[in-house]
Structure 1
Amino acid sequence: MFYLALENNICHNYVTEKFWNSLRSLTVPVVFSRSVFEGMDVPSSAFIALDDFKSVNEFVAHLKALQNDTERYLKHFEWTKTYTKRRFGHDYSPICKICEYATKQFEKKSKNIVDLNKFWNDKDCNKFNVEKFLKD
């Protein structure tokens, strides 16, 4: 099963919650760009990136091939052998406490962004050209 974990923009240091939800539910997330995950501890085999394909037809052919090849499909879940899948609920409370503590410690060093439109549309964000991808 695949999950379209797509956002309006492709931004450095921003991964949509749709991606994490997809991993959590053990589906293969499909994202716009592999570059978003550079420098992150996310195995490249855990997801499918649209920018790996020259056209929508090539992408669809890839998904169909995976549906018919269980061994290749399961390679997208190799990460489950070394990463821990967490459940919602009380499992997150220690993590929440760590995040809360870290936020307080780094509050003075944090970057305040007043203009959210500028943040989402600045040089670190790019639009994925869906129209071009669909035409090719």
Structure 2
Amino acid sequence: MATFLYVGIALLSLIVGIWVYKLNQYDFITLDDHKYSLASLKGDYVVINYFAEWCAPCLRELPELSAFNQSKGENVHLFAISYDNVSAEKLNALKRKYNIDFPLIAELKGEFPFEAPSYLPATFVIRPDGSLAGQLLGEQTEENLHEVTQ
């Protein structure tokens, strides 16, 4: 009888351990402290925009990104990441200053399925199957982003 109890406790411990391990696996954390893994977003489009405050075209496209964020479907996720790898405090200041209403990536733990861009603004689209749809260079519009995520 005691053997069954020990085996049961061991199995329960193993299950809890695996659950906690999976819970802590993520590729990036947003400024609002949500953890995401690209694997958990599989089945949806993922749009990742690189921007910088010194990049005038990046700042001009922010309202288009916001409009896209407001009108995108449930199977589309938009994130932005600072090209300059700024602190969370600076990122919060940028969010307030430019009225950014979509998630900003504060910490990148894993790797994206693409290299960081050489030019800004740059937007990457990951298809629902996890493959890279491509890199969009230059200012994007709400309309263009809808076209590539359908």
TM-score (norm 2): 0.24
Higher helix share: 1
TM-score normalized by the length of structure 1: 0.26
The structure that is strand-richer by fraction is 2
Q: Which has the larger radius of gyration?
A: 2
